[in-house]
Chains A and B, each alone.
Chain A
């Protein structure tokens, strides 16, 4: 911006040369006066601020108005575009129990059991209106927890990292707690969707499944019938765990299919699972490095597959990891505890690391992390005998802190709800 006048002073025309010199002279005087008051530009400042730990960054929103908006509008979105490190796990013990536990995790050090658990759960529970308790954890997606108040059947979103809680308008059609999914990605926008899935039971075996979708943009619940191609799964029971990734909602069925709902076009596809011939033990679904994964235990090994949704060849699954359980036990003495129930079928994949080549395996009383690069196996969590993880991976969620404010329409508008 300032360097351009300097380029001209060697022009051959004496008059132009003189003019340029005068221009430069004036320009330099101006600079002389300004140099002491020059401030850091927003670009320069945000380069510095984005290197700060998140706690300091948030605190410095109180420095001034311009810092507040720079941090909210530039720094936090920039930081959020980087992969979110894994901060811990949420889990729930049975479908009927509202109690949840949190175990913190970091890629370097495992913090002790339950040290942060109570205060962590308290930190977001205190944001919820207490008159509607108890709340059940329904989903956890990119750092946001979806909870439902059982008594009034109303959904709430909590962001424990920035202590934000947003109440979703109640849909009058919702009279009992449904399976619900949160579709939120801070890299895409601060908007989100909550999707309630209606169980398809045998009485409507010929009808496509129905989704009630709440969008923070329209602030309305709308019901859609979503046809599935091929319609082989109509009337088949679904498995509770859901995964959201890139505008798609993933769900397993008891018929060993993966249902993939496209939330934009409101169409769905049923894909046969790679282990469709195995006995009907339910597998695990999750996301790592932006790719959808399915995993299961085939009786002797943990198998992790990647989904290649746009596969032209007609084969959707790519085997990514195969981890022999006996090999694991031979190499790692403490892995013998995987034998605790003397039944290899009890060993399950519980989670997959969102950014690293690490998987979490275990039995209902113990979870191990296994690093595929270094072959390191570590016990990260032990459950008391009387409180095992009952249903395995369906109630075990990875949690990464997110610092994006959710769009909170309730602060700006009257609630509206179509259903």
Chain B
């Protein structure tokens, strides 16, 4: 991993003047050059540039909480939304957005989904976070307690008696659970 901050934006000079690009560096050192309107959907990036007027185009903003894999997923979502906005600035084509979102999330494993939620939370993209938390809720809805522990990697720290008592107390909630 490099400790140098402002060294790896060599290619930005070749991009056209019209479309300003912003360089974002993920935890594993990969630098993404992102079109400004797309990058500005990341609230953490927007406020960084808004708060620091003297940063230049050469500045590479490190995002140490975001992996390269998560960044690919995030940019795919933000670019699609920027495209919708550009085509229809007044109101997003709702059906198209929904179709895109459904296809987009179907391809993600549970691990990828969780990683993207953490990234979207860190980058503060409220729209994406809202969407992804809804997807996570759908994936655990009506699943067993064991499934949910595995999903979130939560350790069961109840004693067997405590758990048995809780299950007895909320017996009604355990009826008709889906197969894992």
Question: A48: which of B137, B155, B156, B169 is its contact (CB, 8 Å)?
Answer: B137
**Which residues 39-54 of A have a CB within 8 angstroms of B?**
39-41, 44-45, 47-49, 51-53
Does A64 lie within 8 Å of B156, measured CB to CB?
yes
Residues of B within 8 A of A53 (CB): 141-142
Decide if A61 is an interface residue (CB 8 Å cutoff): yes
A23 to B112, CA, bound (A): 30
Are B52 and A7 closer than 8 Å at their CB atoms?
A: yes
Selected from B67, B117, B136, B141, the residue in CB contact (under 8 A) with A35 is B67
Q: Please judge, given known A-B contacts A28-B1, A49-B137, A60-B148, whether A55 and B157 are in contact too, CB under 8 Å.
A: no
Cβ contact of A68, chosen from B55, B166, B177, cutoff 8 A: B166
Over the window 45-84 of chain B, the binary record of Cβ atoms lying under 8 Å from chain A Cβ atoms (1 yes, 0 no) is 0001001101100010110110100000000000000000
Interface string of B91-113 (1 = CB under 8 A from A): 00000000000000000000000
Q: Are B140 and A52 in contact (CB under 8 A)?
A: yes
The smallest C-beta distance from A69 to any residue of chain B, in angstroms, reads: 12
> Once the chains bind, are B133 and A51 in contact (CB under 8 Å)?
yes
Q: A48-B137, A62-B145, A62-B163 are in contact. Are A24 and B117 (CB under 8 A)?
A: no
Chain B nearest Cβ from A105, distance in angstroms: 20
The SS class assigned to the A binding surface is helix
A67 interface hit (Cβ, 8 Å): yes
Q: Tell me whether A64 and B157 are in contact (CB under 8 A).
A: yes
- B118 close to A (CB within 8 Å): yes
Shortest distance from the beta carbon of B110 to any chain A beta carbon, whole Å: 13
Number of A positions contacting B (CB below 8 A): 43
Q: Is A10 an interface residue (CB 8 A)?
A: yes
Asked if residues A48 and B62 are in contact (CB atoms below 8 Å), the reply is: no
| Structural contact, B157 and A10, CB atoms closer than 8 A | no
Report Cα–Cα, A123/B65, bound state, in Å.
49
**Contact, CB under 8 Å: A9 / B5:** yes
What band does the interface of chain B fall in when counting residues whose beta carbon is under 8 Å from A?
35 or more
Q: Which of A7, A58, A64 has the most CB of B within 10 A?
A: A64
Chain A CB within 8 A of B20 CB:
no
Q: Is the CB of B65 within 8 A of A2?
A: yes
Q: A2-B64, A3-B44, A52-B141 are in contact. Are A62 and B118 (CB under 8 A)?
A: no
Which residue of A21, A44, A66 is within 8 Å of B121 (Cβ)? Answer: A44
| CB closest chain-A residue, reference B66 | A35
Point out the residue from B64, B145, B156 that lies within 8 Å of A32, measured CB to CB: B64
Is the beta-carbon distance between B152 and A62 smaller than 8 angstroms?
Answer: no
User: Which of B48, B52, B166, B173 touches A55 (beta carbons < 8 Å)?
Assistant: B173
Q: Is B85 located at the chain interface by the 8 A CB criterion?
A: no
Asked if A63 and B145 make an inter-chain contact with CB atoms under 8 angstroms apart, the answer reads yes
Does any Cβ of A come within 8 Å of B87's Cβ?
A: no
> Is A205 engaged at the interface, CB distance under 8 Å to the other chain?
no
Tell me, rounded to whole Å, the shortest Cβ–Cβ distance linking A42 to chain B: 12
- Which residue among A40, A49, A163 has the maximum number of chain B CB atoms within 10 Å of its CB? A40
- Knowing A7-B48, A56-B141, the reply to whether A44 touches B117 (Cβ < 8 A) is yes
Is there contact, CB below 8 Å, between B62 and A60?
no
- The verdict on A27 contacting chain B, using a C-beta distance below 8 Å, is yes
Tell me whether B142 and A65 are in contact (CB under 8 A): no
Residues of B within 8 A of A32 (CB): 1, 27, 64
Smallest Cβ distance from A249 to chain B, in angstroms? Answer: 32
Question: For the complex, is A391 an interface residue (Cβ under 8 Å from B)?
Answer: no
| B140→A56 contact, CB < 8 A | yes
CB contacts under 8 Å to A, within B138-171, are 140-143, 145, 148-149, 152-158, 163, 166-167, 169-171
With both chains docked as a complex, state the minimum distance between the C-beta of A16 and any C-beta of chain B, in angstroms: 14
CB pair A6–B48 under 8 Å, yes or no, is: yes
Contact flag A63-B156 (CB < 8 Å), given A7-B48, A47-B133, A56-B142: yes
Q: Does A59 contact B (CB under 8 A)?
A: yes
A330 within 8 A of B: no
CA distance A2 to B155 in the complex (A): 27
A31 with B117: in contact, given A10-B52, A53-B142, A59-B177 (CB under 8 Å)? no
A2 to B143, CA, bound (A): 35
Q: A132 within 8 Å of B by Cβ?
A: no
Chain A residues with Cβ below 8 Å from B169 are: 163
> Which residues from B are CB-within-8-Å of A25?
3
Question: Which of A2, A52, A66 has the most chain B CB atoms inside 10 A of its CB?
Answer: A52
Other than the given A3-B48, A28-B62, 5 more pairs (CB < 8 A) read A28-B1, A32-B1, A35-B27, A63-B149, A163-B169
Residues on A facing B (Cβ under 8 Å): 2-3, 6-7, 9-10, 21, 24-25, 27-29, 31-32, 35, 38-41, 44-45, 47-49, 51-53, 55-56, 58-68, 123, 162-163
Please give me the 3 A-B residue pairs with the lowest Cβ-Cβ distance, nearest first. A51-B137, A58-B173, A31-B64
17 residue pairs A–B, Cβ–Cβ below 8 Å: A7-B51, A7-B52, A31-B64, A44-B118, A47-B129, A48-B117, A48-B133, A49-B137, A55-B173, A56-B142, A59-B173, A59-B174, A61-B170, A62-B166, A62-B170, A64-B156, A68-B166
